[in-house]
Amino acid sequence: MLNLASKIALVTGAGSGIGQAIARLFAQQGAFVWVADIDARAGRETVASIGGPGGQAEYVELDVSDPAATLACADRLTPLDILVNNAGIGHVGNLLLTTAADLDRLHAVNVRGPFNLCKAFVPAMLERRRGSVINLASIGGVLAVRDRLAYTMTKHAVVGLTKALALDHSQTGVRFNAICPGRVETPFVQARIAEYPDPEKAYRDMASTQLNGRMAKPDEIAAAALYLAADESAMVTGSNLVIDGGWSAGK
């Protein structure tokens, strides 16, 4: 069993979905988890749901797109052993349906967010010569997703950021990896599916891009994050862990 005892983690976007699943699992495995989210109610609900032996967590309000806020957060919470850059937003649209403002909005959270957090927290990791940074990218970071122009652009940037960090700091003991999920059955996705006239058909259509015919569960992504956070993955850096039910096979 992978163990995070005595480790301190920060998970952004931990108020729901993948981030919440990661925060819960890390706490279950012994880590103290800072639950970061811009939504205070959601973040505190995640903290309240964390319990059991060794389960410890505290909420911190954070807008990842604000560099001053991330630096202030680092002043309070450093040092960290694990940084999970999970917070992200999406947009539906091709070139004709995507404005510059849409792209700027996604870039501020999906790209500048991880950059801001790394600028704030990684220097202390480098000084201590240990740490694991996990960036949540997407299948849209390794291939194009139809009608997701801005999202695909930003998630490709997250993969590039991860590789550049791993290369530049390869001799420091600090590791940088990305997780690239396909479609995941988060509460947000479930709510969107429920809006369709035929939710069952909508689910099948969305899941059909994944060769195993279903979406991933948030807990399945969290399990991958646990591996990358744990000492057992000490040889893994600069990697993109694709969890897509076969979506990218052969592409």
Q: What is the 3-state secondary structure (H, E, C) of the chain?
A: CCCCCCCEEEEECCCCHHHHHHHHHHHHCCCEEEEEECCHHHHHHHHHHCCCCCCEEEEEECCCCCHHHHHHHHHHHCCCCEEEECCCCCCCECHHHCCHHHHHHHHHHHHHHHHHHHHHHHHHHHHHCCEEEEEECCHHHCCCCCCEHHHHHHHHHHHHHHHHHHHHCCCCCEEEEEEEECCECCHHHHHHHHCCCCHHHHHHHHHCCCCCCCCECHHHHHHHHHHHHCHHHCCCCCCEEEECCCCCCCC
Distance separating alpha carbons of residues 102 and 91, to the nearest angstrom: 7
151 is catalytic: yes
Q: Which is the catalytic residue, given 151, 196, 203, 227?
A: 151
Strands 82-85 and 131-136: parallel
Cis previous bond, 79, omega within 30: yes
Q: Are 151 and 109 in contact (CB under 8 A)?
A: no
Distance separating alpha carbons of residues 80 and 12, to the nearest angstrom: 13
What residues are labeled active site?
A: 151
